[in-house]
Structure 1
């Protein structure tokens, strides 16, 4: 299993939305919060242009990302695990699968989440923004996740359409969660073979996940 972290295992999406909104404002750009919400799940390398356009990316992209990191950092203490997160990951391992946490977060944020979830001894590997040049919806992060455990078959788990699109580009099935605020139809259209309301519901059907080989 390749599991997304933000919004999937930890309840951090709305802190991210506020931090991005404030970061844009700091750089003289007022981006509608609903549009930021729709882009959360992308990495910061993709989000600025998706929300505010290529001109803002060219003129202020690095500045916005630096402001986001500064603003979001103090919010980390507000982030809590989603119900059933650790229990699901333990069950994945007990079912005999390897587990990679596929985050495009900054390394220090990923470290914080590993400790918050208490899964350093559960996950086989994890990723950060430093592992790839292009984050979701590009498939690179998922490919790195598979390579870290030399995986041949996988299923991706995420809360956004960007997770599902990245998996589809790699030829992998995906499972969607409604915890990111996307609708069931949206996640299914993006490639999710099934959508669950929460992690405990997914855990109850863990043995039905559609593991498949990565496209060559």
Structure 2
């Protein structure tokens, strides 16, 4: 009965997860906090309000949380022009749209980054709506972003398409099923353990397998 496809952007449609991990590594270094990059990557997909305490604790969040997020913003901005869409990103949006779904790009990213990615994906005419960090108080794995995305188009039943365990956890809290892709660098087991109903290795594989997912046809 799905009528709305809710797409995560970073790590799902555009290849940004490792840039984000490096930006956070550099941000933490500014405060003499040296974390292995692999540990940071395990939390990519969470919003900065969730990532900082998860990685360095509540005390650091209270003392430096906002400053760390400002540092991350300064570190990631020069990398944005390096980002490219994953192969098949535009074609996937088009295929889902042609199957009758409302399409929402559900990002908790900065507004200027989201605007840049919309152009990079040539998605402005395909997306019925999109979100940014300005639209929610609590980021993934809280369900707020998924709920906001669904409400933005008056959708009744959504399907989440994401790359991280945090996408699946957030969607599950909103009673929305998740289709996962491995484009963000997470394993099949991590994604299914988080609640993803199906996992595809690439966006092209997902396009080829749409008929076997809740995205086969809107309302079906």
Task: Tell me the TM-score normalised to structure 2 length.
Answer: 0.94
**Matching of residue 206 in structure 1 with residue 197 in structure 2:** no
Cα deviation digits, residues 100-143 of structure 1 (max 9, x gap): 00101000000010011110011000010110010000000000
What's 2:114 paired with? 110
3-state SS in 1 of match to 2:102: coil
3-state SS in 1 of match to 2:161: strand
What's 1:155 paired with? 159
User: In the TM superposition, what are the counterparts of 1:74-113 in structure 2 within 5 Å?
Assistant: 74-113=78-117
Cα deviation digits, residues 38-92 of structure 1 (max 9, x gap): 0000011111111111111111111110001011001001100000000000111
Task: Tell me the TM-score normalised to structure 1 length.
Answer: 0.96
Match of 2:52 among 45, 48, 52: 48
User: In the TM superposition, what are the counterparts of 1:146-185 in structure 2 within 5 Å?
Assistant: 146-185=150-189
Q: How many residue pairs are counted as aligned between the two chains?
A: 211
Q: CA RMSD in A?
A: 0.9
Match of 2:135 among 125, 131, 147: 131
Unaligned segments of structure 2, at least 5 residues: 216-220
What's 2:145 paired with? 141
**Matching of residue 37 in structure 1 with residue 41 in structure 2:** yes
3-state SS in 2 of match to 1:59: helix
What's 1:66 paired with? 70
